[in-house]
């Protein structure tokens, strides 16, 4: 089907055609309809052109599968091209939330296969709810290195907490808005810029456009012999400044000079000892509807935050 899609785009000039496995989908202006005689039906213009191309090159198709409308289910997500959004169908979202809560029963045991099924189900939902990725950290630690599919594994307190965290947020989350966060211009009025750093003595946060600087000693109960935890905690601290701002921003950029921390926040993946930092940051981002981007800068460009730390 990839070759057929290439022909459709480059020779039949059908714009905006997308393909997933053997499912083709596209969008067009409402009202531009074209009659397709074999099915005795008016379809959107581009859809009719695609059906005619398939007929010409001998690709089989069936009438019940030729769907269109103001919203459409595409690879199990409800896509609205006018709102530029994608959501989970409500019944599928409710089923996942119910299963998360069932799985998180205290003193429950589940097979490795059931753990893997739940992880796959959640990973699918992260296409719509990407900020919930930290909710699988404890499950991945639990199943790492195991290969006996029907061996039973105990649900520990960390797994219970993370799954309940996911279910709580998922209940209230809307769909994914396309293009909402493409423009991260640091000079935009609704973008907050911060620089963070950590040292063996403390942590520093500097927001140059808001005339704010903060410093804190390292927490006495933090891990020893690692700076990574405190670099990540400094970023989380900058995020937790959002509730105290006079006007909540829609976007936030944090610059810092530790590449592991940059990767942790942009991938939303962390080893269990650091995952609580991600969970705490995501709580604020979701409550205040802020999009976060963490970017790397060389230490030589992070002098103020470095001095504060």
Distance between CA atoms of residues 258 and 4, nearest Å: 45
State pLDDT tens for residues 248-306.
888 999 999 999 999 999 999 999 999 999 999 999 999 999 999 999 999 898 888 88
pLDDT band of residue 190 (cuts 50, 70, 90) is confident
Residue 256 and residue 304 in contact, taking contact as beta carbons nearer than 8 Å: no
Of 199, 194, 219, the closest CA to residue 209 belongs to 194
Half-sphere exposure of 12 (CA within 13 A, CB side): 24
Sign of CA dihedral 271, 272, 274, 275: positive
Q: Given this model, what pLDDT does residue 183 score? A: 62
State pLDDT tens for residues 56-78.
999 999 999 999 999 988 888 99
State pLDDT tens for residues 122-148.
999 999 999 999 999 999 999 999 999
Distance between CA atoms of residues 266 and 130, nearest Å: 11
Mean pLDDT, the chain, rounded, equals 91
- pLDDT of 180 over the 70 cut: no
Mean pLDDT, residues 171-199 taken together: 80
Instruction: Give pTM, 2 decimals.
Output: 0.84
Residue 238 and residue 205 in contact, taking contact as beta carbons nearer than 8 Å: yes
Backbone torsions φ then ψ of 252, nearest 5 degrees:
-140, 135
Residue 159, CA distances (Å) to 60, 97, 101, 285 in order = 47, 15, 11, 22
State pLDDT tens for residues 192-217.
999 999 998 899 999 988 888 899 99
Beta strands in 142-190 (DSSP E): 152-154, 176-177
Mean pLDDT, residues 80-91 taken together: 89
Q: Given this model, what pLDDT does residue 36 score? A: 95
């Amino acid at each position: 089907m990839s070759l057929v899609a290439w022909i459709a785009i480059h020779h039949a000039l059908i714009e905006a055609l997308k393909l997933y496995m053997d499912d083709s989908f596209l969008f067009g202006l409402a009202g531009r309809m074209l009659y397709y005689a074999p099915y005795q039906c008016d379809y959107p213009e581009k859809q009719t052109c695609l059906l005619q191309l398939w007929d010409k090159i001998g690709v089989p198709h069936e009438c019940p599968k030729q769907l269109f409308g103001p919203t459409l289910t595409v690879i199990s997500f409800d896509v609205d091209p006018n709102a530029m959004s994608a959501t989970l169908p409500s019944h599928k979202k409710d089923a996942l939330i119910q299963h998360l809560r069932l799985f998180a029963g205290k003193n429950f045991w589940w097979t490795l296969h059931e753990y893997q099924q739940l992880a796959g189900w959640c990973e699918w939902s992260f296409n719509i709810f990407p900020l919930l990725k930290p909710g699988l950290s404890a499950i991945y630690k639990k199943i790492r290195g195991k290969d006996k599919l029907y061996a039973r594994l105990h649900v520990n307190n960390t797994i219970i907490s993370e799954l309940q965290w996911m279910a709580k947020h998922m209940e209230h989350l809307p769909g994914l808005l396309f293009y909402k966060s493409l423009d991260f211009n640091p000079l935009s009025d609704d973008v907050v810029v911060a620089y963070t750093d950590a040292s063996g003595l403390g942590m520093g946060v500097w927001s140059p456009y808001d005339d704010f600087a903060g410093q804190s000693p390292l927490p006495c109960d933090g891990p020893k012999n690692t700076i990574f935890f405190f670099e990540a905690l400094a970023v989380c601290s900058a995020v937790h400044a959002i509730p105290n701002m006079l006007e909540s921003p829609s976007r936030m950029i944090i610059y810092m000079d530790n590449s592991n921390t940059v990767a942790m926040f942009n991938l939303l993946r962390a080893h269990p000892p650091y995952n609580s930092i991600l969970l705490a940051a995501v709580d604020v981002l979701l409550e205040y509807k802020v999009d976060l981007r963490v970017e790397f800068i060389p230490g030589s460009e992070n002098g103020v935050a470095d001095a504060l730390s």
